[in-house]
Structure 1
């Protein structure tokens, strides 16, 4: 009888039926690596919490609140699904609520933050949509700070596109606090550790950012990767399983790594430049780091100091700026002295007069 009941229960579960899978990947500077139905609107699920975090940190920067503030918890914040144990009367810091929102995707933490920052959820969501408009996320609309489905919230689904979520991720990468939090494997709430929903943290250079899931959305993820000194953002929406979500992320980031070619080797001589009033007259230079890129049609601009006298090996002597074909800055690399130079002695200076 038990076996029969369990089979009936399994059959009664709603199946994920998604019309399309979407993906968008690009570098932090805006270079597009992959685009697949990236303008199609989809339910974002818990990816909404990334915007929640940005609005909370904006309130911190405006000195409306601090990360150390203790938030008094109301039972109404327990809205269901992924949660940490928050009881009425608990006092939890803004930082801990933020960390559990981003790392464990705690819906009650996100709701508590929304109420604390704006007084009520509706006012907070208004700020989320104002931020989306400010960022240029034209196809995004938020109704909740959590991304929960209508069955939980009795509101419309939070929707966006893979391209808009890429824009959001670029903004998130400008805030080191978000990077630091989402790069953690656990969050400690009330003495108990909760594991990150990001199961590929550290793989292919992944250092964050946010996952999301409900039946109407499928398995979504914004992943950020450090690959050969470049920051890659990968947005995937609508995968049909947990495994498929992480496989999609690793496949796209792995393929990008294969596409990259070494353009500059930091161990090689970059240039030979003159040094005034030194015995050596010239020094060799090298770049501070290797440079890899997936395209060869780049443009470079060198800004070199006017060197004079003694130069130590390793001194910064200039800057290399590298642009893509659209004249957008890809990266800036310091140019270092590969060999040193010494001052002319008084006698050397006299000899130079004749």
Structure 2
């Protein structure tokens, strides 16, 4: 009997120790999100800000509001204002831009423009994007703003419009000058604005190209953003370096429908900067996915047709409707069709008919155009008479 009691005591003690051990382990094991963060090395820069483009959700942030010089990342705004001026028709890619003594005098990275030369605006913009050319940046600023100072005023006005509260531009280049600063968060904001410009991405994809001068000289332009070649999906970005700003980069990459925008400031070397941005991209892509919320074949609806050879016409999506969401998110989205009660013939297959809007609660997260699935000819008199007889 005593042996049985001793055995039961041992079992009970073992049971208690097991419970205690499991509880202790559970207390120190971080959640999946915390564990993932712990596994990624985010060291290597003074300031970091990373977002998912469509949702604008923050992936990672560190000292994102610290005001610091940003070196040539200033040219993100210089490029943006140039692209917006092109959109507005204020300038054209074919404009001949006369190079001033001031523009030609810029130091640092440049394509060695000669004062008095006339260079196409397209070539100047390309050299700013590819080779971070300071002389070209000032030439663009003078052409668009009348003077570099005038252009700087435009830069600061646009920054205010974008909500960049911790930014002050003092030149169009990012060359050292007292009073110039921004933050990783603000730079991230203006980088996102460049995503919608195919021309900027096109120039960003150039790895090596000759800049041809009017006198026959050539200057080799080498892309300063190495990630466009060495990180799959990276399609735009702008580097920066001065001894005060150290190594900086704001870049974006897209994979499987998800776009991540990463900004780092104050890295010790270009190698550390590029490696950190690559790790941040990886981490961002590990957190988000592109989810199908409605298949194209399931989106078909009928809309009434007036004065057509048929009474209704189908409308459908041309491709699956997708949203960007955090992996594992089980949100149930609300889908709303925005369509007219009736459309008037003639109608052409593929033309826009309306749209589908996707909501997460009251927040719109996506929308996509609905198209007519078939063409509908306008009815003639005999068609209308035939309809009347059929209704009898």
Same fold (TM > 0.5):
yes
Is it true that 1:46 corresponds to 2:81 in the alignment? no
Deviation at 1:210, TM superposition (A): 1.3
- Could you say if the C-alpha distance between residues 104 and 164 of structure 1 is closer, same or farther in structure 2, counting changes exceeding 3 Å? same
Listed as ranges, the matches of 1:131-142 within 5 Å are 131-142=158-169
The aligned residue for residue 293 of structure 1 is 324
Deviation at 1:85, TM superposition (A): 2.4
Is it true that 1:321 corresponds to 2:344 in the alignment? no
Does the 8 A contact of 2:50 with 2:280 survive in 1? no
The aligned residue for residue 14 of structure 1 is none
Q: Select the structure that is richer in helix.
A: 2
Can you list the C-alpha shifts for 1:264-300, whole angstroms capped at 9, x where unaligned? 1776743564577999x99896661362522343443
TM-align CA RMSD: 4.0
Deviation at 1:228, TM superposition (A): 2.8
The aligned residue for residue 21 of structure 1 is 47
Aligned counterpart for 1:173 among listed residues 186, 195, 200:
195
Listed as ranges, the matches of 1:121-160 within 5 Å are 121-149=148-176, 155-156=177-178, 158-160=180-182
Is it true that 1:218 corresponds to 2:282 in the alignment? no
Is it true that 1:164 corresponds to 2:186 in the alignment? yes
Farther off after superposition, 173-182 or 193-202: 173-182
Q: Secondary structure at the match of 1:113?
A: helix
Listed as ranges, the matches of 1:71-82 within 5 Å are 71-74=98-101, 77-82=104-109
Q: Secondary structure at the match of 2:78?
A: helix
Deviation at 1:156, TM superposition (A): 1.0
Does the 8 A contact of 2:49 with 2:60 survive in 1? yes
Distance in 1 (CA, whole Å) between partners of 2:351 and 2:111 is: 51
Deviation at 1:339, TM superposition (A): 11
Distance in 1 (CA, whole Å) between partners of 2:145 and 2:325 is: 44
Distance in 2 (CA, whole Å) between partners of 1:179 and 1:273 is: 37
The aligned residue for residue 226 of structure 2 is 199
The aligned residue for residue 84 of structure 1 is 111
Distance in 2 (CA, whole Å) between partners of 1:131 and 1:198 is: 25
Name the TM-score, length of structure 1 as normaliser.
0.74
- Could you say if the C-alpha distance between residues 332 and 157 of structure 1 is closer, same or farther in structure 2, counting changes exceeding 3 Å? same
Name the TM-score, length of structure 2 as normaliser.
0.68
Q: Secondary structure at the match of 2:74?
A: helix
Give unpaired runs (5+ residues) of structure 2.
1-43, 213-217, 377-382
Q: Secondary structure at the match of 2:50?
A: strand
Deviation at 1:246, TM superposition (A): 2.0
Distance in 2 (CA, whole Å) between partners of 1:19 and 1:177 is: 30
Does the 8 A contact of 1:50 with 1:210 survive in 2? yes
Does the 8 A contact of 1:139 with 1:161 survive in 2? yes
Aligned counterpart for 1:302 among listed residues 337, 340, 343:
337
Distance in 2 (CA, whole Å) between partners of 1:146 and 1:182 is: 18
The aligned residue for residue 243 of structure 1 is 271
Does the 8 A contact of 2:45 with 2:268 survive in 1? no
Instruction: Give the greater-gyration-radius structure (CA).
Output: 2
Does the 8 A contact of 1:147 with 1:157 survive in 2? no
The aligned residue for residue 264 of structure 1 is 292
Farther off after superposition, 183-192 or 55-64: 55-64
Distance in 1 (CA, whole Å) between partners of 2:348 and 2:155 is: 51
Can you list the C-alpha shifts for 1:100-159, whole angstroms capped at 9, x where unaligned? 11211011211222334344433332222222222221100111211122xxxxx21521
Q: Secondary structure at the match of 1:108?
A: helix
The aligned residue for residue 13 of structure 2 is none
Distance in 2 (CA, whole Å) between partners of 1:184 and 1:324 is: 39
